[in-house]
Structure 1
Amino acid sequence: MKLRYALATAVSATLLASGAASAETVFTVSSWLPPTHTLSTVQKDWCDKLAKESAGSMKCNILPKGVVSAPGTFDAVRDGLADISYTVDGYTPGRFINTQVAEFPFLGDDATATSVAYQRIYDKYFAPLGEHRGVKVLAVFTHGPGIIFNSKMPVTSAAEASSLKFRIGGGNINELSKAMGWNTTLKPAPESFELLSTGVMDGTFFPDESIASFKLSMVKHATTFPGGLYNTSFVFMMNQDKYKALSAADKAVVDKLSGEPAARMFGEGWDKVDAASRDGAQKAQGVARIMADKAFVKAVADKQESLETRWAAAAQAKGLKDPKGALAEFRAEIAKVK
């Protein structure tokens, strides 16, 4: 009888151990952009890699729509309404200071280089300062170079831009627009179609991709800048408690796929759709593209100089010892990635 009991106990223990080993973690994944948008598809690709690398011990349940609007996403992930998502740092003005370094004009002509370089600078200087405290940062990245799009007229100067109303996404471009005297309104990207189609706004500041993604068929003019008029800082993140509850092996998988590999995925994805929009939707609807001349670029650069000085002071107050040095290193890193 004792032997039979011992054998039964051993079998039960083995089955329990086996069940624990095969237990899987399911992440609730939210996206405030359409499922076809590059950020949604890259997020799904990252989840697929997570499942493959963990041999199925981690999986994603991708929700059909975002749990909250874009500006509330950081807090939603922090508070556990979603386990994984991304957001724009500039959608909550004044909250994130150091990340504005990735939003300045003239940084680069593709998202891959700026995203990878931004991740390197973030890891070295910003992550230790904990500005994104409350979540597990999986990666930071940027979109492609920012462009002035509108439905009314070619914009060849700062003065011509002042005659139009634009939707913008926040961050440094918000401050730059004020300094330039432009009429801009901070609104999340998904609201662009309604704003432009109803005539509430004449145009929007966007990367190339967005004309196709948000079906902005009313756009007829684009003014580009060498290195972009602006950029946008994104954070890709996981609920911190969810990460802490993972086994050591699963944490290692998450860490392996985070940082530069994830930043590169988002950057490369954005570059592909930027090119597709330029060659497809914009060409089909007859968008006339012009490059800002030297005078227009100088007008922007002159205003940006004081903004960078102001940013450096704010970043230093947040604990960044040499903000201007970090910015210079960021620009040099972008050139290296190319």
Structure 2
Amino acid sequence: MVTETGKNCLAGIRDCALGAVALLGLSLAASPATAQTQLRMANWLPPTHPLVQDVMLPYAEKVREATDGRVTIQLVGAPLGPPPAHYDFAVNGVADITYGVHGYTPGRFKTTVLAEVPFLGDSAEAISVGYWRTYEKMLAQAGEHDDVKVLAVFTHGPGHVFTKGRDLSSMEGVQGAKLRVGGGIAGDVASALGAVPVLAPSSQSYEMLAGGVADGILFPYESVTFFKLDGILDTGLVVPGGLYNTSFFVVMNKARWDALSDEDKKAIDGVSGEALARLAGQAWDAADAQGRAAMEGKVEFLDASQEQIDTISTALEPVVAAKLQEAAAAGIDAQAALDMLKAETAAASK
């Protein structure tokens, strides 16, 4: 989705500088006469991104409404640092609230990889709701987030393969292809399918594809159009349930959380957790739908054949097994957690 290094991420987005000013204008800070507590949310995306427009800003408004204006959230206009640093910004109090990608700090979070495995589903909303329920009941006990208050975990929509100049009607079209990935399980998936993963920030995707450094990319629909790749890529292989997802967090500094009144904590909890995971998932689904619609006539979509699905499933079995082992190392029953995640995702899909 977005970059592993803030410098490259922000350099690749032309409106980010103007966005710093615009974002301040969009911040939902109440006047000093009504606000008792103002929380600063660190931000590293441009104001046009769906995660800002359709998740973080609406969430800030929901917090304001739930607390009758006693607690407000202001999105910081300029990035405080690179995306991988944002979790620790919340830990250390550099910002009161932060959001980010678990995979941007490899090896730090072991249980969250379960939400990124292939074939979980076609709806970010359903996966995100199932993910939160599983996190709350099973994953939290690993203690990986004990240094913050977790407001939500969620995923973006399912990722697929997009290429230029390659025949994706068979898996031979993927083999040997240089696919840009953002790290984490996406790189493992690319390797398992016989592709050559090329690790690079999302913001460099356009120049890599245009310059022939990469033959394709693993992305959800939304990101293809957001990074304006629909004019370069010509074919997409759509795999039911997706080849991977990306796990996100929204967390708060513990001291700032503890300083809130019990009334405000209860109010914020009421619009966080599953409610925030659902909000984020709905936003991703809407963005994916818009992204796919925008690609019609530019990108040929090929639904994976049963033969391709069987080949992909077999190839990715070792990847899933490795992720289960990784999660189990955190002290949880990884298989039971994955089973719960799948069951809750299925339930949320109905």
Shorter-normalised TM range: 0.7 to 0.9
Query: In structure 2, how many angstroms separate the alpha carbons of the residues matched to 1:46 and 1:65?
Result: 19
Pick one of 225, 248, 255 that aligns with 2:239: 225
Indicate how the Cα distance of structure 1 residues 209 and 313 shifts in structure 2: closer, same or farther if over 3 A, else same.
Answer: same
Letter in structure 1 aligned against 2:152: A
* Map of 1:168 onto structure 2: 181
Secondary structure at the counterpart of residue 237 of structure 1:
strand
> What are the within-5 Å matches in structure 2 for residues 49-198 of structure 1?
49-198=62-211
* Map of 1:263 onto structure 2: 277
Shift of 1:21: 10
Secondary structure at the counterpart of residue 162 of structure 1:
coil
**Pairwise CA RMSD:** 2.0
How far does the alpha carbon of each residue in 1:96-153 deviate from its partner, in whole angstroms, 9 at most, with x for none? 1111111111110111110001110110101122112322111111111111112222
Pick one of 260, 279, 283 that aligns with 2:296: 283
Pick one of 326, 330, 333 that aligns with 2:344: 333
Query: In structure 1, how many angstroms separate the alpha carbons of the residues matched to 2:91 and 2:291?
Result: 34
Indicate how the Cα distance of structure 1 residues 287 and 327 shifts in structure 2: closer, same or farther if over 3 A, else same.
Answer: same
Question: 2:345 matched to 1:304?
Answer: no
* Map of 1:206 onto structure 2: 219
Query: In structure 2, how many angstroms separate the alpha carbons of the residues matched to 1:187 and 1:71?
Result: 14
Letter in structure 2 aligned against 1:319: G
Query: In structure 2, how many angstroms separate the alpha carbons of the residues matched to 1:324 and 1:212?
Result: 35
Indicate how the Cα distance of structure 1 residues 194 and 133 shifts in structure 2: closer, same or farther if over 3 A, else same.
Answer: farther
Shift of 1:187: 3.0
Secondary structure at the counterpart of residue 108 of structure 2:
coil
Q: TM-score with structure 1 length normalisation?
A: 0.87
Letter in structure 2 aligned against 1:226: P
Secondary structure at the counterpart of residue 296 of structure 2:
helix
Shift of 1:81: 2.3
Is this contact kept in 2: 1:33–1:190, CA < 8 A?
no
Query: In structure 2, how many angstroms separate the alpha carbons of the residues matched to 1:188 and 1:246?
Result: 37
Letter in structure 2 aligned against 1:294: Q
Shift of 1:188: 3.6
Shift of 1:235: 1.0
Pick one of 24, 30, 38 that aligns with 2:50: 38
Q: Percent identity?
A: 40
Stretches of 4+ aligned residues off by more than 6 angstroms: none
* Map of 1:324 onto structure 2: 335
Shift of 1:237: 1.4
* Map of 2:13 onto structure 1: none
Q: TM-score with structure 2 length normalisation?
A: 0.84
Query: In structure 2, how many angstroms separate the alpha carbons of the residues matched to 1:125 and 1:46?
Result: 25
Which has the larger displacement, 43-52 or 206-215? 206-215
Is this contact kept in 2: 1:80–1:239, CA < 8 A?
yes
Query: In structure 1, how many angstroms separate the alpha carbons of the residues matched to 2:166 and 2:194?
Result: 18
Shift of 1:59: 1.4
Which has the larger displacement, 54-63 or 113-122? 54-63
Shift of 1:22: 5.6
Secondary structure at the counterpart of residue 34 of structure 1:
coil
Query: In structure 2, how many angstroms separate the alpha carbons of the residues matched to 1:123 and 1:180?
Result: 33
Letter in structure 2 aligned against 1:39: L
Aligned residues: 316
Larger Rg: 1
Indicate how the Cα distance of structure 1 residues 83 and 287 shifts in structure 2: closer, same or farther if over 3 A, else same.
Answer: same
Is this contact kept in 1: 2:221–2:291, CA < 8 A?
yes
Shift of 1:205: 0.8
Indicate how the Cα distance of structure 1 residues 226 and 155 shifts in structure 2: closer, same or farther if over 3 A, else same.
Answer: same
Indicate how the Cα distance of structure 1 residues 264 and 185 shifts in structure 2: closer, same or farther if over 3 A, else same.
Answer: same
Letter in structure 2 aligned against 1:231: N
Letter in structure 1 aligned against 2:341: F
Is this contact kept in 2: 1:51–1:58, CA < 8 A?
yes
Query: In structure 1, how many angstroms separate the alpha carbons of the residues matched to 2:35 and 2:99?
Result: 27
Which has the larger displacement, 99-108 or 125-134? 125-134
Secondary structure at the counterpart of residue 318 of structure 2:
helix
Question: 2:288 matched to 1:253?
Answer: no
Indicate how the Cα distance of structure 1 residues 157 and 80 shifts in structure 2: closer, same or farther if over 3 A, else same.
Answer: farther
Shift of 1:174: 2.1
